Amino acid sequence: MNDSKILPQTEISRRKQAKTIRFLRKLHRITGLILLVFILNMAITGILLGWKKNSYDYILPNNRQGTSSDLKNWLPLDSLEKVAIQSLSDFSAELETTISRIDIRPDRGVVKFIFENHYWGVQLDGATAQVMHIGKRRSDFLEELHDGSFLDQFFDSKFSFFKLFFTTIMGFSLILFGLSGFWIWYGPQKMRKLNKRNI
């Protein structure tokens, strides 16, 4: 008598588990196929960005060592800016010389000038204005690919719409993959336990 009461309940539970697992497998597969290119993009660019400081100047130029870490010995920033712009112009007349940002590294004694509309940068000795390095910052492009902001650059979006959309969708997708993947693994184990209870 007890067995006949327990059996239908466990059978219902087992069928629910099987239905849930089938649905999650389908969702996992379809979502994975749709987002495969974007997931590969995030994975590959993420690996490259992780290696950027160990790429021997290829992905990101290493910080050079200046002559003084004491800011009192440094030249005025506007003087350094003029040298950086002139140095880039001398290097290539085709490159834009509008400065996007300035990265000051007192501990290294260098100032890095990063320019708009391309990925080249200039490193100067803060104390002497000597050009330490002119190099391409491929990591900036990789970061834009990684978070989708390259579309904001391409379409000149002022509100980072594509970056917000891309990172939100990919973030929720990875959460979905994690949870559905866990249940696809755990669900059959739970079903086996129900089957053993049935025997």
Tell the residue number behind the tokens 């629910």, with chain if given. Answer: 16
pLDDT(108) > 60: yes
Instruction: Note the pLDDT tens digit of each residue in 116-157.
Output: 999 999 999 999 999 999 999 999 999 999 999 999 988 888
Q: Where are the domains of the chain?
A: 2-51+151-198, 61-136
Q: What percent of the chain has pLDDT over 70?
A: 90
Tell the residue number behind the tokens 């007890």, with chain if given. Answer: 2
Contacts for 143 with CB less than 8 Å, ≥ 6 apart: 45, 49, 149
Instruction: Note the pLDDT tens digit of each residue in 30-48.
Output: 888 888 899 999 999 999 9
Distances in whole angstroms, Cα of residue 131 to Cα of each of 84, 87, 162? 8, 8, 36
